[in-house]
Amino acid sequence: MTETKIYVGLNDATIRQQLYETDRYISILKNICVAYHVPFSLSTIRGSYFHEDGEYTEENTLVLTLIDIDKTTIEEIAKDLCSFFHQESVMVTETEINSYFIQDSIER
């Protein structure tokens, strides 16, 4: 199985500031995942980086985690996030994982 993470910064690519509340971006991200019919996990972190001109930036970042989703769908989601959040790029990481489920044996 492959675990894919898509990191999406929330600062606008042009003005280099976050335009809306983080919850608004989370809502958009959820709607995208529902539209693609993919299960997901989401976390919010703080990130930082240097622009090509050397300017240092800190920003809120959403990390979308997808398990065993085909690469074409991953790339489509990443492109949509890049566009909807007005980003120069988003970062995608892939990791091979082993996973299993544990179920509660209590009857309900």
The tokens of 88 are what?
A: 């120069």
* Closest by CA position to 9, among listed 64, 90, 84: 90
Q: Which residues of 59-77 are buried (b: 16+ CB within 10 A; e: fewer)?
A: bbbbbbebeebeeeebeeb
The tokens of 55 are what?
A: 């300017």
The tokens of 43 are what?
A: 């976390």
Whether the Cβ atoms of residue 33 and residue 25 lie closer than 8 Å to each other: no
> What string of pLDDT tens digits covers the 108 residues of the chain?
999 999 999 999 999 999 999 999 999 999 999 999 999 999 999 989 888 889 899 999 999 999 999 999 999 999 999 999 999 899 999 999 999 989 888 776
